[in-house]
């Protein structure tokens, strides 16, 4: 990563398992100090000890529930410190289920963890990064950000989750344009199905146990997702899709968006005028 010679500290949310734990290991190996954020204190402590032993990295743990405003504020305070050169907004929950039957409180938590918290943390991190002229924010979204055109099968019951990930994609790409004149980078990574314990919980309760597990659906190894994300960070790619062979598809997305925005905007389209 281009960073004026020193790597600084990386804050990784959702570091207690899956993709976040993988980011932590890889960033420690790259020389970053780490702040590991999640709710499961024992898992964070065990990972921190492993990484200190294996890499010599300075590793802090910050136990926080990112659905809680006060906890987000504590993490935001750490993220805003001048040693932080990378924020990885990775924590996420799915809340899968039919929208009309889903617990409204759980749906609000999906939005809080997947949207409100990462937005607050990016807001805390970026002013200092811009002022220091170095730093990056990586937001972990999902290929389900692009689920709006899917037919009812095979992937229903994900409207709020997909919506939160769509937010992260548009938020990041728009922010990237805003920061284009600075050395600070933002990236949104959109993994497809990934081999983690993500689907072992559809609620907001952490998966129990000390050992990381993998849901039955399998998917891409978390290590490959992180390999793609870090490579894309090195090259300055804003929208990273780890499994996408044809990077030109991202240009196709931009072209389709331009087509939607291309109308003059001041007058209503002909097909809406009848009646």
Q: Which residues are catalytic?
A: 161, 165
Considering the complex, state which of residue 9 and residue 17 has its C-beta at the smaller distance from ligand NAP.
17
Residue of 100, 92, 80 whose CA lies nearest to 198: 92
Considering the complex, state which of residue 183 and residue 206 has its C-beta at the smaller distance from ligand NAP.
206
Q: Which stretch binds ligand NAP (CB under 6 A): 37-45, 77-85, 95-103, 130-138?
A: 37-45
Nearest 5°: CA angle at 252, between 247 and 253? 100
The only residue of 1, 11, 12, 19 in contact with ligand NAP, by rule CB under 6 A? 19
| Peptide bond before residue 235 is cis, with ω within 30 degrees of 0 | no
Q: Which stretch binds ligand NAP (CB under 6 A): 17-25, 95-103, 239-247, 257-265?
A: 17-25
Question: Encoding tokens for residue 77?
Answer: 């305070």
The only residue of 106, 128, 198, 229 in contact with ligand NAP, by rule CB under 6 A? 198
Give CA–CA dist 238/232, Å, rounded: 7
Q: Which residues pair with 36 in a beta bridge?
A: 12, 61
Residue of 215, 238, 229 whose CA lies nearest to 94: 215
Q: Which of residues 216-255 bind ligand NAP (CB under 6 A)?
A: 219
The only residue of 59, 140, 228, 240 in contact with ligand NAP, by rule CB under 6 A? 140
Angle, helix 41-55 to helix 18-29, in steps of 10 degrees: 20
CB neighbourhood size of 26 (10 A): 17
Minimum distance from residue 176 beta carbon to ligand NAP (Å): 19
Minimum distance from residue 203 beta carbon to ligand NAP (Å): 10
The only residue of 134, 196, 228, 240 in contact with ligand NAP, by rule CB under 6 A? 196
Tracing tokens 């490579």 back to the chain, one arrives at 231
Minimum distance from residue 273 beta carbon to ligand NAP (Å): 42
Give CA–CA dist 207/234, Å, rounded: 33
Q: Which of residues 93-132 bind ligand NAP (CB under 6 A)?
A: 93, 113
Tracing tokens 């932080």 back to the chain, one arrives at 84
Positions touching ligand NAP (CB under 6 A) are: 13-20, 38-40, 64-67, 90-93, 113, 140, 142, 191, 193-194, 196-198, 206, 219
């Amino acid at each position: 990563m281009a960073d004026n010679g020193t790597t600084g500290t990386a804050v990784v949310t959702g570091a207690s398992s899956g993709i976040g734990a993988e980011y932590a290991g890889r960033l420690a190996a790259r020389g970053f100090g780490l702040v590991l954020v999640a709710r499961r204190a024992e898992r964070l402590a065990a990972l921190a000890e492993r990484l200190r032993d294996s890499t010599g990295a300075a590793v802090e743990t910050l136990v926080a529930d990112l659905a809680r405003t006060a906890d987000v504020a504590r993490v935001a305070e750490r993220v805003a410190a001048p040693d932080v050169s990378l924020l990885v907004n990775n924590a996420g929950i799915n809340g899968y289920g039919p929208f009309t039957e889903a617990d409204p409180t759980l749906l609000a938590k999906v939005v809080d963890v997947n949207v409100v918290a990462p937005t607050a943390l990016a807001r805390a991190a970026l002013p200092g990064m811009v002022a220091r002229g170095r730093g990056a924010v990586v937001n972990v979204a999902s290929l389900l950000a692009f689920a709006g055109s899917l037919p009812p099968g095979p992937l229903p019951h994900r409207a709020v989750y997909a919506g939160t990930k769509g937010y992260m994609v548009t938020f990041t790409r728009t922010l990237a344009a805003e920061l284009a004149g600075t050395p600070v980078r933002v990236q949104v990574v959109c993994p497809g199905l990934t081999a983690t314990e993500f689907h072992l919980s559809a609620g907001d309760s952490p998966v129990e146990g000390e050992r990381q597990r993998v849901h039955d659906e399998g998917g891409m190894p978390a290590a490959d997702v992180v390999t793609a994300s870090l490579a894309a960070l090195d090259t300055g790619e804003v929208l990273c899709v780890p499994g996408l062979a044809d990077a030109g598809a991202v240009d196709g997305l931009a072209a389709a968006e331009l087509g939607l925005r291309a109308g003059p905007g001041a007058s209503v389209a002909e097909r809406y005028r009848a009646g």
